[in-house]
Amino acid sequence: MKFQGHIPNRSPEFYTKFLMPIVLLKKAVDSVRRYIDRAIWTELVKGEKVDNEILNLVLFIVFCLLSLLTFRLEKYQTSVIILFSCLWYVDRLLAKRRYFHGKERSVTSLTASKDGMVAWTMRSPLEEPRQMRFHRHHLSHIAIRAIRANGGAFDSAIARAWQVELILTDETNLLMYEEPRAIDAIDRARELADLFEVRIVFRDSEGQRAYADPAIARTSSSMRMASRNPTRNNAVGLTQTAQRWHIFSRWTFGHSWQFFGKVFHESGFLLFTLLLTRFMSRFGEMLDTLITYYRASEIVYLDFSGIFNFFFQPNLSWIDWIAVAIATTIAIGRGAQISQVKHVYIDRQKFRFAINRKEIRQFNLPEIEMVLLITQPEPLILICDRDRALEIRDLLREEDYRAMWIDIEQGIAHFQSA
């Protein structure tokens, strides 16, 4: 028996070295953004204290140096940001095209012989072939892992995909397939599992024991028991009748901060960069004045008017307004996507999923084989029958995914048993 798979090639693009200065600058700005996001999210949302004095000092020094540079190049900053954003966008488009349609791919093969020996090989365009032989009894299980595929010079997220791996008893991982669609990865995994008579495990998953990750099964069980208390998650609603369960996401005022934080974190980089550079220009102007007074041995005056004017009199040019409009449109679009209401309807015959009033997918209830909560790299609820798969995404928090997943499991079990 022989199997063959293809893995999209995500090696660096030929023009990566020419964009390296821009890439490093973007990474520096993104590091500041992630640190601010993490600090705000941890301190204001979770109530935990972020305390790292050395890192704070280093970031402050870097911030001061970049502020001085930004002030000196103030008249060009918006044009440069727009140019860099266009380069990033084109790079991401090329990376996505190469990922989905590129001809250069790693090729995997798996050959099982009658004596029980199995030969695995991976051939990559730019690497030496990798090979391994093992006895079929040393194959522990087939693993399916959700991944976020990155690519391009900027190493941007270009796709969500699913990897199928062979897991040996010594915990060796052998990658066999990478598929953009969950159902394709599941079909590949089923073929291997049927041949070798082993189970399929979804990495970082919670749910039925037949498919859930055993490494987190105990934690999952305890958390589910804690979640089945009278205090419900108010971001997930449930309406029960004898004929149907209706499970739905809903907007609550208490989740406003998480909503804006998620939108800004996922799609607010351009807007953040525009605001940050404008603020840095004013801060750099103040630093430049201080340095000038100090060199002239004059009395140093602290003038914060430029920083205050950043908030009350931004004095944006037409190109600034265009950039802000583009950044705001991106953020609003992502916000609209996240804020859509997700509906799940369960009755004796059907399982239906809709977004707002549009039905996305339906299953025959007796044919549903798995309902899993995948926690990495970002949470999602995966529901599958033999031929189709549904991924429920774009809830605000992992707790919301868990609450909806538990309600779905209970609803399916209720009507299947009936």
Higher pLDDT, 370 or 320: 370
Lay out the sheet containing 205-207: strands in order across: 205-207, 370-374, 380-384, 389-392
Residue 83, pLDDT score: 83
- pLDDT for the residue numbered 308: 56
Handedness of CA 326, 330, 331, 336 (dihedral sign): positive
3-state secondary structure (DSSP) of residue 257:
helix
Residue 199 pLDDT: 93
pLDDT level of residue 101 (50, 70, 90 thresholds): confident
Mean pLDDT over residues 367-382, rounded?
Answer: 92
pLDDT digits (tens, 9 = 90+) for 20-33: 888 887 777 777 66
Q: What is the pLDDT of residues 307-336, one digit of tens each?
A: 556 555 556 666 667 777 777 777 777 777
**CB-based contacts of 269, cutoff 8 Å, min separation 6:** 30, 33
Query: What is the per-residue pLDDT for 230?
Result: 45
Q: Is the pLDDT score of 220 beyond 80? A: no
pLDDT at 40: 55
DSSP structure class, residue 42: I
Task: Tell me which of 42-56, 115-129, 282-296, 374-388 is least confident.
Answer: 42-56
d(CA 59, CA 40): 16
- 306/378 Cα distance (integer angstroms): 41
Residues 140, 198 contacting (CB under 8 angstroms): yes
At 148-166, the pLDDT tens digits run 998 888 888 888 999 999 9
Average pLDDT over residues 67-86: 77
Q: What pLDDT is attached to residue 45?
A: 45
CA distances from 398 to 197, 380, 401 (A): 34, 9, 5
Q: Residue 364's closest CA among 344, 376, 347, 340?
A: 347
Q: Report the distance separating Cα 178 and Cα 185, nearest Å.
A: 7
Does the pLDDT value for residue 9 go beyond 70?
A: yes
Angle at 337 between CA 373 and CA 325, to 5 degrees: 140
**Would you state the structure tokens that stand for residue 130, as one six-digit string?**
């990798």
* Predicted local distance difference test score (pLDDT) of residue 412: 92
* Dist. CA 144–CA 57, nearest whole Å: 43
Residues 355-365 as b/e (b if ≥16 CB within 10 A, e otherwise) read eeeeeeeebeb
d(CA 154, CA 84): 11
The predicted-structure confidence for 348-365, as pLDDT tens digits, reads as follows 999 999 999 899 999 999
Dihedral sign for Cα atoms in the order 375, 376, 377, 381: negative
The strand pair at 139-151 and 200-202 is best described as parallel
* Domains (range + CATH), the chain: 1-202 (no CATH), 217-250+341-417 (2.30.29)
Residue-level pLDDT at 138:
94
Q: What is the pLDDT of residues 188-203, one digit of tens each?
A: 999 999 999 999 999 9
Query: Would the pLDDT of 8 be above 80?
Result: yes
- Decide: 78 and 275 in contact? Cβ < 8 Å: no
